[in-house]
Amino acid sequence: MEYSAEILKIVEGCMKMDKIKVYNYTQLLIKKLKENGEIRLAEKFEKIIASKSETNLKSLNMQTIYKVPVDSESRLPIADRLEPAEIEEMPVFLNKECKNEIDKFLEYYNNRNQIINNGINLPNTLIFFGPPGCGKSKLAEYISKKTELPLITTRLDGLISSYLGSTAKNIRAIFNYAQSVPCVLFLDEFDAIAKVRDDKNELGELKRIVNSLLQNIDSIQNGSIIIAATNHEKLLDPAVWRRFMFKINLQKPEYEVRFNIINKLVSNMNLKKEDIDIIAQLYEGFTGAELEQICNKVKMDAIIDKKEISLINFVEYYLRHKHIVIDNHKEKIKYLNNMNNKLFSGTNLARIFNYSKPYISQILKEDREGWKKNCQL
């Protein structure tokens, strides 16, 4: 049955007298019916929801339905909600292995009714790990956009209260929300709570909270997606890893990924593919977030200086980033060639500095001759 997952959750919500759950899953069912061209049936469900006499759901306003839980002490929200429509349609740039894993997850999700009808629990858990700035938050947004589920982001370090009992309440509250409202629940800074349970430095109560967290992850089987993210994967309890079917290792981008990121970021600039190739090679070891910052700073400098952006702007920014100050162009050419004579060959240097190849060759020849003289001394 194509809509079995939604119908089961609506029935479950009715049995528990959970109006919000009934409302949300009925809306999800209506959306799917319309997508499949079953407009008349969708309209019937809409009339039922609108009818106070039949369902008593009319009294529920959108603020009540979508309101995220609050901290039991401060009364401040413990999560942020972002609608798919608010997320910019952007490609994600991943290495081949990570892309294949994400594509496979989305394929499972898009065929969830078929999977569930065959008696298999839908895989709904992912964990992203790797250095900061490698796209964990952007990838969570991408999944939210592709699945058309709202993104609920909570930082687990923010859930930890001075009173551990309140921490347990906060965790229960955020998972109860995800159980009632189909969403992508993004648990950032996951290592803040999910540390190794036999750590002698941790209190017994915190260990019980970790166990509670694992049980809550296991309990989500309602169409919601759980994504955990950490920069410190070695701190995680081995039991935590077993909860996640998809383990996505987001490392600093390799050359091809850097090229694609930069190509996207400079798409409105007057740069050729050969320029982007040099930039991508030069910025080896930089994260996606750092590449975005660099491109934005180069753009801002160009706006203020009222000049067109060229390859040399990225080279000079790289030198500034490395705290290398060279004012003279000749010395700069010599330095770059000595730093990497393959990347900064005579041909590439001529391209970067907009000089003729013979002139660049002359500068490099002077540098080699000077080096020989120094060796003789």
pLDDT digits (tens, 9 = 90+) for 234-257: 888 888 898 899 999 999 999 999
Tell me the C-alpha distance between 140 and 185, whole Å: 9
Q: What is the pLDDT of residue 226?
A: 96
Last residue of a domain, one of 249, 283, 312: 249
| Same domain (yes/no): 92, 228 | yes
Evaluate whether 23 touches 51 at the Cβ level (below 8 Å).
no
Q: Give pLDDT tens digits for 179-226.
A: 888 899 999 999 887 665 555 555 666 777 788 888 888 888 768 999
Tell me the C-alpha distance between 74 and 86, whole Å: 28
For residue 371, name the pLDDT band (cuts at 50, 70, 90).
low
Evaluate whether 366 touches 360 at the Cβ level (below 8 Å).
no
* Angle, CA of 43, 178 and 166, to the nearest 5°: 145
Strand-pair partners of 226 = 125, 185
| Same domain (yes/no): 90, 216 | yes
| Same domain (yes/no): 130, 212 | yes
| Same domain (yes/no): 231, 318 | no
Q: What is the CATH number of the domain that holds 184?
A: 3.40.50.300
Q: Domain residues for 76? A: 70-249
Last residue of a domain, one of 189, 215, 249: 249
Q: What are phi and psi of 310, to 5 degrees?
A: -135, 175
Q: Extract the tokens encoding 235.
A: 């701190």
| Same domain (yes/no): 287, 330 | yes
Tell me the C-alpha distance between 254 and 284, whole Å: 8
In Å, how far from its chain's centre is CA 121? 25
| Same domain (yes/no): 76, 203 | yes
Coil, helix or strand at residue 295: helix
| Range name among 9-23, 31-45, 130-144 with the lowest pLDDT average | 9-23
| Same domain (yes/no): 293, 175 | no
Q: What is the CATH number of the domain that holds 267?
A: 1.10.8.60
Evaluate whether 28 touches 3 at the Cβ level (below 8 Å).
no
| Same domain (yes/no): 84, 207 | yes
| Same domain (yes/no): 245, 261 | no
Closest among 356, 318, 320, 352 to 333, alpha carbons compared? 352
Last residue of a domain, one of 67, 92, 122: 67
| Same domain (yes/no): 126, 223 | yes
Token pair 């159980």 in the structure block, residue: 179
Please tell me the total count of domains within the chain.
3
Average pLDDT, the chain: 84
| Same domain (yes/no): 217, 77 | yes
> Residue 304 pLDDT more than 70?
yes
| Same domain (yes/no): 139, 260 | no
Coil, helix or strand at residue 77: strand
- pTM of this structure: 0.77
| Range name among 54-63, 253-262, 304-313, 328-337 with the lowest pLDDT average | 54-63
Tell me the C-alpha distance between 348 and 164, whole Å: 60
